[in-house]
Structure 1
Amino acid sequence: MRDYTFTLKYRLADDDQDPDMIVERLGEAGCTDALVGIGIVGRLALEFTREASSAQEAVRSALADVKAAIPGATLVEASPDLVGLTDIAELSGVSRQNIRKLMVAHGDFPLPMHEGNAGLWHLSEVLSWLGERKGYLHDPVLLETAKATLDVNIVKESKRHAPVVAGELEMLLA
């Protein structure tokens, strides 16, 4: 058993926004291992440190507990997943410029999820690449957690968009 730290962000239903009641229901549902953040009206952030035999188990059990406590809430994001160059540099213990040089010099650097002034990458892909290609040592629990939250975000996004569109595009993107 290990401790896995991750964050689940939700949008609350219009008729379910009483912070005191939400916190009480979360505790009753088993979310006593989460720090609750309600900084934006209608939003909820839960930072879990959950003990489990795997990151998948930790994240899935937290998702189930939150669904039991707040069934009308909609998952916005699971993290750690999307990161920028500065985040990657901090996690790798090097400068942002060093990561940028690696990205430019190596054509096999992971593709970004968003490319632009502020590019975004999936943390698990970058950590794997840095470990395999460059020998950077990362916390294996962080990598495992990043893979689990990436899985959640992929499923969440695929459910959000029409399955017909995904089916049509599948062949074009292969």
Structure 2
Amino acid sequence: MSDVQEFEFDLMIALPAGERDEDAMLDALFEAGCDDAVVGTGAAGIVALGFIREGSDAEAVIAEAVGQALKGLPEGATLREVRPDLVSLADVAARLQVSRQALQKREMPPPSLGGLYRVTEMVRYLEGQPGKIRDGVSKAAPWFAAAPAAQKINAQLGLSD
């Protein structure tokens, strides 16, 4: 059995069309076991749930959170994306608490899609960097740890469409 570690990830879930009572939805998410989620409802038709959860396997941890979230959301809600997967340099810089320019000065992997980078590739380039960047990688370890599972789940979502 693997060691228990923290995983930090976000679930982007599409909601079915129609009126919704946000307070009732928040209560239902809480009752379904998502009492530890940071919930964002700013985008029409999408609810974002941010988690930091512990476990020995990121994919299992994320799958459990997805199951709980879908149980608490209206029927017809669907998982659209798990983050982190594709990110901008600004996203990574914010996690590392450095400037985007500090990352631009370093060797980086080639972008994967529209100027976005795969977190799983970024971490390999960042781990060997000196000082503040290396310290930031350590602090953001739960986010980086969730990335391979997020990438795999997103690939499966894409194939099932």
What is the TM-score when the length of structure 1 is the normalising length? 0.72
Instruction: Provide the residue aligned with 2:92 in structure 1.
Output: 88
User: Which of 3, 6, 23 is matched with 2:6 structurally?
Assistant: 3
Give the superposition deviation at 1:96. Answer: 2.9
Work out whether 1:142 is the aligned partner of 2:143: yes
Instruction: Provide the residue aligned with 1:113 in structure 2.
Output: 112
Give the superposition deviation at 1:29. Answer: 1.5
Instruction: State the distance in 2 between where 1:88 and 1:41 align.
Output: 26
Aligned residue pairs, count: 151
Q: 1:111 is matched by which residue type in structure 2?
A: P
Q: 1:69 is matched by which residue type in structure 2?
A: G
Instruction: State the distance in 2 between where 1:87 and 1:9 align.
Output: 16
Give the superposition deviation at 1:92. Answer: 4.5
Identity across matched positions, percent: 33
Give the superposition deviation at 1:95. Answer: 4.2
Instruction: Provide the residue aligned with 2:80 in structure 1.
Output: 76
Q: Is the 8 A contact 2:9 2:143 kept in 1?
A: no
Give the superposition deviation at 1:20. Answer: 2.2
Give the superposition deviation at 1:44. Answer: 0.7
Q: Cα gap change, 1:44/1:91 in structure 2, threshold over 3 Å: closer, same or farther? A: closer
Structure number with higher relative contact order (C-alpha < 8 Å, ≥ 6 residues apart): 2
> For residues 9-158 of structure 1, what are the structure 2 equivalents within 5 Å?
9-15=12-18, 17-70=20-73, 71-92=75-96, 94-103=98-107, 109-115=108-114, 119-131=115-127, 134=129, 137=134, 138-139=137-138, 140-158=141-159
Q: Cα gap change, 1:94/1:39 in structure 2, threshold over 3 Å: closer, same or farther? A: closer
Instruction: State the distance in 2 between where 1:93 and 1:47 align.
Output: 19
Give the superposition deviation at 1:28. Answer: 1.9
Q: Is the 8 A contact 1:6 1:80 kept in 2?
A: yes
Q: Is the 8 A contact 1:17 1:42 kept in 2?
A: no
More divergent stretch after superposition (88-97 vs 48-57): 88-97
Q: 1:32-55 CA distances to partner (integer Å, 9 max, x unpaired)?
A: 111222123322111112232232
What is the TM-score when the length of structure 2 is the normalising length? 0.77
Q: Cα gap change, 1:61/1:40 in structure 2, threshold over 3 Å: closer, same or farther? A: same
> Any unmatched runs of 5+ in structure 1?
104-108, 161-174
